[in-house]
Every structure is written in C-alpha cells, then in structure tokens.
Amino acid sequence: MSFNKLLQQSLVWRGFYFFTVLLLNIVISRTLKADGSGGLYFSTIIFNFILLIVSFNLESGFTYFASSNKIPFNSLALVGTIWTAAVSIIFIPITYFSLLNTSILHGITAFQLTYNASTFIIGVMLTSYFTVLFYSKKDFFIPNMWLGCSNLLLFVLFWIGAVNHWENQHLVNLFFIFYPIQGVGLIALFFYINKQEGHIKLPSGTDFMLLIRYSAITLISNLAFNALYRIDYLYVNKFCNLSDLGNYIQAAKLGQMLLIIPQILASAIYPQIASGESQEYVKESIITLFRLFLQLFSLLFILLFLVGKYLFPYIFGSTFSSMYMPMLIIIPGLFSLSGLALLSAFFSGKGKAKINMEGALIGLVLTLVCDWFLVPLYGINAAAAISTLSYFSNFGYSLWHFNRLYPFKTKDLFAFSKNDWKWVVGILTNKSS
C-alpha cells in the first residue's frame, strides 16, 4: 500500500473512532458535571501512568519489529496476550491488599478502586497491543470500526442512564468495564483474521530480548513524555478546587481531540519509516504537514477567541465556564505537540528513540520547576501557559535534530502554498500522484 493510501485509510477510520470518543466525552461531561467528570478523568490519568510501566511499552516494540518483519505478527500477539495475563494475575491482588490499609481511598472502597484500576489498565493494555499490530499490517478499518462501534454503544447507555437518572457510580462502573470488553474483542478479531499465518508460537529467546531492549528504551522516553504531558494535572489537583480541575482537564481533553489528525498521521508514518519504504517522500510530507498544522491552529485560535467563551458552556454545560482562557493559552502548545507527534514517529521508526527521550526530559524539567512556583499563584491559566512553553521546547529540540538529518530552511515552514492543500485533497480522494 502506498504512503498516500496509508494516510487516507488512517484518516478515515481513526477519524471515525476519535469522533466517537468526542461524543462519549460530551455525554460523560454533561452527565457527571465538571467535578464528577474531573475526578473520573483524573483517576484515568493516574491509571495511565501505571499502565505505561506495567505494559513495558511493548506496543512500541511490536510496531517496530512487526513493521520491519523481524518478528512474526502472531508471535508478538502471543507475547502481548501472555504479558497481559501475567500482569493481571500479579497486579489485581497486590492492588487490592495494598489499598486495604491506606488513607488514600477518601470514601471509595478498596474493591471499587481495584476494579476501576484493573479494568482500565488491562483493557487499555490489550487494546494498545493489538491495535498497533493491526496498524503494522496496514489495517486501520477493523480495529477502529470495533472500537468506534463499542464507544457508540457506551454513548447510548450513558444517554439512557442520564435520562433515567441512574446513579453516577453505576455509570462509572459501566465506563470502566468497556475497556476490557474492547481489548478482548480485538484479541478475538486479530487471531481469527490471522489464523491463516499458521502455528502460533513464541519468538526465539534472541528475538524476545531484542523486543525487550527496544521497548525499554522507548519506555523511558514515554515515561518522560507522559510526565511532561500530564504532570500539570497533579499541580492543578493540589493547588486548585475540583471545579477548576474539571475545567482544566476538559480543556486538556479537548486539546487531545485537536491532536487526533497528527496522531493519525503519526500512526501511518511510524510503520512506513520502520519498513524502510518511501523514506524521502515521508520526510517531505512531514515538512508539508508542519505548514498545514500552523495554518489550521492559527485559524482555530481566532475562532475560539471569538466564540469559545459561549461555546464551551453550551456544549459541556454551565459548570465548564472556566475552560475558555486555558484553552486559548494551550493552542500554541497543541501546535507544537502536533509537529512533535510526527517527529516522534519519525525518530522511533529510525530507531532513534533517544532523541524523543531527551526532548521530553527538557520539557519535563521546565514544567516541574515553573508549575511549582506559578500554579499556586495564577491557577489553571499558569498551568496552561507553562505546558505550552514546555511543549514548544520539546518540539524545538526534536525539530533541530530532524533538520540535522534532513536539512531545510526555516522559511520552508512558512512557505504556504495551495499545492499543500491540493496534496491533502488528493490523499482524501485517492487522486494524489
């Protein structure tokens, strides 16, 4: 499949999935309000950090070794299944018994918190492992159709629950149980579709150690980036009230929605670079995408400046009136993250994950120092401004390394042209040459 065709498929089917995520986010926010949804999403942020550690970031290794055909797909799928089962056996009892005598529960039982954490972590782990295996086979339809349709079902159930005044705890339980349902469904689909590949067996000891070594390197990088991307939530949680936390997290989640297209494109770039195909064309495409992102985020800033103050409370409810200013402040940072998504995929595919780690550490240090002094004084607006500064620093570091590998002039990033948009239309209509 050509790179343009790969981009098209990724945009269409991942776009469908992320649209269902947006719908689900809206119904959850309107049902649980700012304080309820803020608490829910804050817990998933903590779970995500635990997930990154216990999953060992194997999905990054899966993508690299599957795309480069160094380890068979079914062998990697078996590793992912066994690893998840082992984590489940160890993680669930340890979590439950360690929570029984702690003071962090604040009204929630040890069983409930263990249920929330284990369903989320196990479900997302399986989903991540098998989604990247589908993507490495250049199949964007099956995983995103399954995940999108299950999100739509959960959206309908939340809507019914809101209309019939179900207890919030029942809705939260429903929210978490859908994660393992999605993950197990992907396992079944993957092994069924790939049954013609023959006997399923574990990779050799040598291949397994190569997988572990590569995943360990990218794990350090992703730990640093996830801390950079989410550490501000901890400061807001510590120094601001629950309503501000809910507004800030909602602005951040909306920002994540704006990163959908860059993430979609990155999911196509990574396996293409790792496979060694169309290298020069991919590099040229990254520069073109930088220009397009700059135009889109500039236009978005203007639109939100004009209507955001009224739009956010209308969509999410009156309790989200404080997310306007943080959203405006974070938009330049989101542009940086958009470019960074492409560069991180490029360097990972090149086997240069160390660059991603170094850039994330630079941004993380900035965030840790500045948030500690400024968030207590200026609240969520300061948190947004510091995040933008940190994202830009990370992006600038990665762009400098990209320029060393693939020299370009700074003015190339601002050389706007109609041909860039014709290229995009060509990809979407499958008519680009």
Contact 331, 297 (CB under 8 A): yes
Contact 380, 324 (CB under 8 A): no
User: Is residue 173 pLDDT above 60, yes or no?
Assistant: yes
Mean pLDDT of 413-426: 83
Q: Is 279 exposed, middle or buried (0-12, 13-18, 19+ CB in 10 A)?
A: middle
Mean pLDDT of 47-69: 88
Mean pLDDT of 148-156: 95
pLDDT category of residue 276 using cuts at 50, 70 and 90: low
Those residues whose C-beta lies under 8 Å from the C-beta of residue 256, and which sit 6 or more positions away, are none
User: Is residue 382 pLDDT above 90, yes or no?
Assistant: yes
Which of the pair, 71 or 277, is modelled with greater confidence? Answer: 71
Residue % of the chain over a pLDDT of 70: 92
Mean pLDDT of the chain: 86
pLDDT category of residue 271 using cuts at 50, 70 and 90: low
Q: How far apart are the first and last CA of the chain?
A: 14
- Helix count (H) and strand count (E) of the chain? 13, 0
Q: What is the pLDDT of residues 205-235, one digit of tens each?
A: 999 999 998 888 788 877 887 888 788 888 9
Separation of alpha carbons 148 and 152, rounded Å: 6
Separation of alpha carbons 432 and 422, rounded Å: 8
